[in-house]
Every structure is written in structure tokens, then in C-alpha cells.
Amino acid sequence: MSTAILLLAYGAPESLDDLPAYLTDIRGGRSAPPPLIEEVARRYRLIGGKSPLLAITRRVAARLQERLAMPVYVGMRHWHPYIVETVLQIKQAGIQHIVALCMAPHYSAMSIGAYRTKLTQALDAETTVAFVESWHTQPDYLAGIAKNVQATLERFPPATQKRVKIIFTAHSLPAAILDKGDPYDAQVRETARLLAHQLNLSDDRWSVCYQSAPRVDISWLGPQIEQVVPQLAQSGETNLLVAPIGFVADHAEVLYDLDIGAQAIARAHGVRLEKMPMLNDSPALIAALAELARAHINPTPRIEPAV
């Protein structure tokens, strides 16, 4: 049975002209109000006019394809190539089994579950799918993050490195998911604990917070980094390192929310803030995804009903 790997990512517009349609897709078909479009456009201009997410995901796909010697496709949830477009290409190639990997290691029904729904809607009965729901403890992923954190620590003077406070972040989601038993928050915190152990961090040298919560009138998982940085400054912390463990690639939530937004808050409070490099198409991420793919390449045999 022929198999392909399908990398799933959020999607990002290729130009500022695409923003209205992109935001409409995110909003479930509701047009975005002009002030929202202009605010998002402003942020994109500040990071260079476009997100590098699609280009990075395609580089990951090319390197993973070379490593696995099998076809690797890219499908986006909210922009081209949409998941449904990519699944059509896979079916036209005669491929019968798909290993679906999300470019996000932590599971939530709101996030990863939405990718699964999009994929399921695009499939037919002839195609089998192995959907990897989470990989937040995958050893190569953890090792890659730990390496990047350690390299970032070395930007600080040697005498202060052991006193740097490390902040592990992930994209916030509505707090109501906790009432439904969603594992997202627990998985984010498990990743942080494992990394703190690998990095030999004492409990007072690291914390977990969230980022990128929209400004809407509901409760979101917290605390938010906009609150945490001033609080740490007030408690006497002067050197911070942010490690966005919920993201694997550079895109707007990293390049603007952290490199510009959080950085401005840190400067305003007299704090030095450094952000670790993202994994992007690094050997660590390719190794992690390759290991996950290999574990799911052979489809589970169909169980025929008893006669």
C-alpha cells in the first residue's frame, strides 16, 4: 500500500492583499471588520510583510521527504494549499495511506482536533489515515528545544547565566477547554517540566505562561506573557529568556507577539529579554517528525465484520 506523509500547519497569507480573505476563513466565513484588518496588516508590515510559515513548512517537507524516501505533502488549515486541495493531490497520485503530522506538538480539541476534522472531511473511504494527535514528549523535539535554550543562555554574560529566568510559552486557548477535560494545558506543562529537568533548572528558574490570546471578552488560559514580564521585573528579575515550546516555526505569533510585543514590554520595565531560535527546518525537528512518521507508516488492518 502506497503511503504519503501530510504535514499540517495553520496557514498564513502570502501578501497583505490576501489578509481580508485569510481573516474571513479564520472567522468561519464572517468578514473581518476594517480595524481588525488594518491592525493585522500593521503587524505583518513590522515582520516584513508576510509570514515565513509556508516557506518553512515546505522546507521541512522537502527535508523529511529526502530522509524518509517517500512523498511528503503540505496542507494548511486556513490558507492555500488548503488541506482539501492537498488531499486531492494525494488521491490523484494513487496514494492509499496518509500519515498526518501537525506542526504543533500539543493536543487540544480546538486546535489539533480542528485539523483532524478538516482532513476527515476531505477524505474518501478508500484512504486510510494515521493521525498523530500529539508529540509533546518526543525526545528529538525536546532535545532540539533544550539545545536552542542553552545556546540562547550563552548570549548572557557568564556570571548571570544561572540567574536567567526561563519562560516557556504556548499559544493561549479559551480557558473553558479545561472544563471539558482537554489535555492541552497539562501537555504544555509536561513539556516544560521535562525541559527544565534536561536543562537542570531549579524550580525558581523557570515558569510557564501563554501568549497570543485575542482581545475578546472571554477567559483565556494564562497567565499571559504581557502580565508575566512586568511581574517578574517587579520581583527583581532582570534577565529573561522566552522559549516558545508550543510553536516549531517562525510566524506572526512568534515574530510579532514575542520579538516585538513582548520585547517592547521588557524594555519598558528595564528587563533584558532574549528569545530562543525556533526549530524551523532544523535536524532536530526533521528527526522528530521522521521518527513519528515511521511509527505510523504501516496502516492498521481493516477489521472485517464477522459473517
User: Which domains, from first to last, does the chain contain?
Assistant: 3-135+282-294 (3.40.50.1400), 139-275 (3.40.50.1400)
Q: What is the mean pLDDT of residues 223-240?
A: 97
Q: What is the pLDDT of residues 40-65, one digit of tens each?
A: 999 999 999 999 999 999 999 999 99
Q: Which long-range contacts (CB under 8 A, 24 or more apart) does 112-121 make?
A: 114/77, 115/8, 115/77, 115/83, 118/77, 118/83, 118/84, 119/6, 119/8, 119/75, 119/83, 119/87, 121/84
How many Å apart are CA 12 and CA 249, to the nearest integer? 12
Q: Is the pLDDT of residue 299 over 90?
A: no
How many Å apart are CA 263 and CA 77, to the nearest integer? 29
Q: What is the pLDDT of residues 142-188, one digit of tens each?
A: 999 999 999 999 999 999 999 999 999 999 999 999 999 999 999 99
CA distances from 99 to 4, 53, 54, 79, 290 (A): 6, 21, 19, 21, 11
